[in-house]
Amino acid sequence: MAKYSIAWMPGDGIGNDVMDAARLVLDAMKFDAEYRPCDIGWEFWCKEGNALPDRTIKALEGTTCGLFGAITSKPQDEAKEELIPELKGKGLVYFSPIVKLRQMFNLHTNMRPCKSYPGNPLSYRGTLISNPSGGEVAIDQVVFRENTEGSYGGVEFYPLPESVYQALCLNPKMKPWKDKGLENVALSTRIVSKQGCTNICKQAFEYAKKTGRKRVTLIEKPNVLRETGGLMTRIFREVAKGYPGIWADEANIDAICMWMFKNPQDYSVLVAENMFGDIVSDLCAGLVGGLGFAPSANMGDTYAVFEPTHGSAPKYAGQYKVNPIAMLLTVKMMFDWLKEDDKATRLEAAIARVIKEGKVRTYDMGGKSSTMDVAKEIAKHAG
């Protein structure tokens, strides 16, 4: 019997391509696991009206953790148009399956490392002022994104029901929307809790403490989002008191997008609510070469799902053209979570070596190698 049971969720688009690359490397490293195929993705929304079928949820409950490729996601109107004829007009509503997984399994912490590796031609090199040598800027940032609340909570309305409008009128600033006609008003909420804010802040500080990092930066907008941003900021400051050896500072989401581009090497651990964490982690990814180098982990108290942060890129599906490094760094994160430290170290070292040597590169890095070519070269050094 295998040591681990991994929920295998390629999703769609290039999800299948990068998961094939992951399997090649996992097998080369003799990872002791069984892989349980699980249906998830756009195909199942179109054919069944559910991108995360109940059978998949049941299957996940018997696994150690999940490995996920990529998912296609479209606006509500387009999603409904792509349903098979028998399902149209049934009142079905599309909801992102990965967001649903995060909420159902309480995967409260989304961790997104962004690290520059020597030899990557796409890494940010900085300005002459911040980096006089003109060489590569060493970037090693980790974003901790609250994963179940905030703007991704899914509490939305269109059109706006009268009962919801009346409740919101407890705040007089809501009343002007009545004149626009409630049938013309859409509402998305940003709901955060003390529990959610406290957890993600503690996760960030604990990681900094464990890894010897000296700075944790909160990304918020409390001068405008006074209640939600204010709650997060107050909790961040309170949690920071328990970690006197770590520099705790704060930055508005708009300002951090400028400062990180100007001086990315200054930042280490970043913590944010759901939407802001999503935004700033993509900025971090851009600094280290793009989404082809950006892994992530959705972690709860007892379960986790690992996924690269890139999308499904349907135009490249099945061409085995895209960069698999984000997926393979995601596998490295899975090894970390499973405490397979030797495998994690070997895999990252192999990835770093292949990047530095530059002999095997996908198109985004200026090369002509395929997804599987890169995977084979990494597997050769990691196995």
pLDDT at 135: 77
* Boundary residue ending a domain (220, 254, 287): 287
Q: Do residues 200 and 346 share a domain?
A: no
Each residue's pLDDT, cut to its tens digit, for the chain (383 residues) gives 899 999 999 999 999 999 999 999 999 999 999 999 999 999 999 999 999 999 999 999 999 999 999 999 899 999 999 999 999 999 999 999 999 999 999 999 999 999 999 999 999 987 777 777 777 889 999 999 999 999 999 999 999 999 999 999 999 999 999 999 999 999 999 999 999 999 999 999 999 999 999 999 999 999 999 999 999 999 999 999 999 999 999 999 999 999 998 889 999 999 999 999 999 999 999 999 999 999 999 999 999 999 999 999 999 999 999 999 999 999 999 999 999 999 999 999 999 999 999 999 999 999 999 999 999 999 999 98
Query: 84 in a domain, yes or no?
Result: yes
Q: Do residues 268 and 303 share a domain?
A: no
Query: How many Cα neighbours within 13 Å face the side chain of 228?
Result: 19
Q: Do residues 308 and 278 share a domain?
A: no
Interatomic CA distance for residues 345 and 25, integer angstroms: 14
Q: 333 near 113, Cβ under 8 Å?
A: yes
CB within 8 A of 131, min separation 6: which ones? 125, 137
pLDDT at 127: 75
Q: Do residues 276 and 327 share a domain?
A: no
Q: 102 near 50, Cβ under 8 Å?
A: no
Q: Do residues 83 and 146 share a domain?
A: no
pLDDT at 132: 77
Query: 119 in a domain, yes or no?
Result: no
Interatomic CA distance for residues 236 and 215, integer angstroms: 13
Query: 143 in a domain, yes or no?
Result: yes
Q: Do residues 91 and 140 share a domain?
A: no
* Boundary residue ending a domain (135, 163, 188): 188
Query: 116 in a domain, yes or no?
Result: no
* Residues β-bridged to residue 146: 109
The pair of structure tokens assigned to 54 is 């109940």
What's the total number of domains in the chain? 3
Q: Do residues 270 and 138 share a domain?
A: yes
| Domain region containing 180 | 155-188
pLDDT at 383: 84
* Boundary residue ending a domain (188, 211, 240): 188
Question: How many angstroms separate the most distant Cα atoms in the chain?
Answer: 66
pLDDT at 296: 98
Indicate whether this model's pTM tops 0.85.
yes
Q: Looking at residue 99, which CATH number applies to its domain? A: 3.40.718.10
